[in-house]
Amino acid sequence: MTATLTTESPARAARTKRIPVAVLGATGSVGQRFVQLLEHHPWFRLHEVVASERSAGKTYGEAADWRLETLLPDSAAQLKVKALGDALESKLVFSGLDSSVAGEAEDDYANRGCAVITNSKNHRMDADVPLLLPEINADHLAAIEKQRARRSGYIITNSNCSTMGLALAIAPIEKRWGIEQLHVTTMQAVSGAGYNGVASYAILDNVIPYISGEEEKIESEPRKILGQWDGNRFIDAPLRISAQVNRVPTIDGHLMTISLRMRDRDFDLDAIREALETYSGVPQELGLPSAPAKPIHYIDAPDRPQPRLDRDREKGMSVSVGRLRPCPLLDIRMVALVHNTIRGAAGAALLNAELLEAKGLL
């Protein structure tokens, strides 16, 4: 691996050999989504699956209580499950591990020379670990050089699933006008808690106005994503964020209502909408396989976006925004929606890995 940043053309997608990869926490909800998305991936091939001691030694088909809407791929079902800590042949590792074990395990594999792309929270705010959202901060990959001064591999993290949708929705506004303060209220799907995360009796006919640690993540992570890497450390964007979170009885799709105050007060709603609709970044320029053609879809309807109708736009990899209008307390308000287990989790990790490959960092 090398830490030299280069710009490659979309022609890099024309490859004859797919890169073997491993999935940590492969039997969990995010791990299963990794397995699903890797089945037909043009650049990466699922080679190893890793789970707990309870599953180790079984075939993946035996160990995984498959819960997704597509059939378990035959090629994955036949793989023998390895135990966490076992040696891996793959140098590219995707992690869907629970945070209770993720930190140490991901460090271990990075110290062995692996590129670890993780959905877990443990390393998101580390001083030299990029909290990567490629349409916004592809330049943060320069921090890999700092990591590799202390180990042979490196770690790249996704953000929290709600943060992913929030950061993408506000990025065009922050880039052009700046944001001074922001309030967001989330309505988060039950899949975000994993298959056994919320008892049906607790969530049916109900809304739970609390998710442990969630508000703190949403209030801190976008500042790192939208901030700068100065060659030595990350400098957070100066916006202030207040978050309130709720668990609601939808299956997939985190919906959020957003109000914000701009730094540059010379704005109008038409210009903001245009900035949202035309926003794109490095993944679109490079034609990465998982990149949505449009990262942000603005929906011009009074009652959209909605999880059931809009979460699967561009195979779940885009963010939907609507109801842009004045705010009587701040400046503007709007609604945003992200597919929490695709763009907010496994799909984002695949896009991060694609960027690493396109930049010659794998």
Residues 168 and 282 in one domain: yes
Q: Which long-range contacts (CB under 8 A, 24 or more apart) does 280-285 make?
A: 280/135, 281/134, 281/135, 281/136, 281/138, 282/134, 282/135, 282/138, 282/355, 283/134, 283/135, 283/138, 283/351, 283/354, 283/355, 284/135
CATH of the domain at 283: 3.30.360.10
Q: To the nearest whole percent, how much of the chain has pLDDT over 90?
A: 94
Calpha distance 155→65 (Å, rounded): 28
Residues 327 and 179 in one domain: yes
Residues 120 and 217 in one domain: no
Q: What is the pLDDT of residue 156?
A: 98
Question: pLDDT for 18-57, tens place per residue?
Answer: 999 999 999 999 999 999 999 999 999 999 999 999 999 9
Question: pLDDT for 67-77, tens place per residue?
Answer: 999 999 999 99
**Global pTM value:** 0.94
Whether residue 85 is contained in a domain is answered as: yes
Give the residue from 221, 280, 276, 254 showing the smallest Cα distance to 338: 254
Q: Which of 47, 254, 297, 339 is catalytic?
A: 254
Residues 115 and 214 in one domain: no
Calpha distance 359→362 (Å, rounded): 8
Average predicted confidence (pLDDT) for the chain = 95
Whether residue 204 is contained in a domain is answered as: yes
Residues 153 and 170 in one domain: no
Residues 240 and 209 in one domain: yes
Residues 104 and 189 in one domain: no
Give the residue from 212, 306, 206, 221 showing the smallest Cα distance to 257: 306
Q: 134 Cβ partners below 8 Å, 6+ apart?
A: 281, 282, 283, 288, 291, 351, 352, 355
Residues 63 and 141 in one domain: yes
At 11, the pLDDT band (50, 70, 90 cuts) reads very low
Residues 154 and 183 in one domain: no
Whether residue 169 is contained in a domain is answered as: yes
**Residues in a beta bridge with 94:** 23, 117
242-281: string of b/e by CB count within 10 Å (b at 16+)? ebebbbbbbebbbbbebbbbbeeeeeeeeebbebbeebeb
Quickly count: other Cβ atoms within 10 Å of residue 57's Cβ: 12
Amino acid sitting at position 190: V
pLDDT over 60 at 6, yes or no: no
Distances (CA, A) of 71 to 41, 96, 100: 16, 20, 29
Residues 110 and 180 in one domain: no
Whether residue 3 is contained in a domain is answered as: no
pLDDT higher at 105 or 6: 105
Q: Count of domains in the chain?
A: 2
Question: pLDDT for 242-299, tens place per residue?
Answer: 999 999 999 999 999 999 999 999 999 999 999 999 999 999 999 999 999 999 999 9
Q: What is the pLDDT of residue 205?
A: 97
Residues 141 and 180 in one domain: no
Distances (CA, A) of 77 to 26, 59, 60, 69, 91: 11, 6, 5, 16, 21
Structural domain of residue 332, as residue ranges? Answer: 161-340
Whether residue 1 is contained in a domain is answered as: no
Whether residue 4 is contained in a domain is answered as: no
pLDDT over 50 at 7, yes or no: no
At 196, the pLDDT band (50, 70, 90 cuts) reads confident
Whether residue 326 is contained in a domain is answered as: yes
Whether residue 5 is contained in a domain is answered as: no
Q: Which of 47, 123, 140, 161 is catalytic?
A: 161
Q: What is the pLDDT of residue 195?
A: 84
Question: pLDDT for 200-221, tens place per residue?
Answer: 999 999 999 999 999 999 999 9
Q: What is the pLDDT of residue 15?
A: 61
pLDDT over 80 at 14, yes or no: no
| 339 counts as catalytic | no
| 254 counts as catalytic | yes
Residues 25 and 110 in one domain: yes
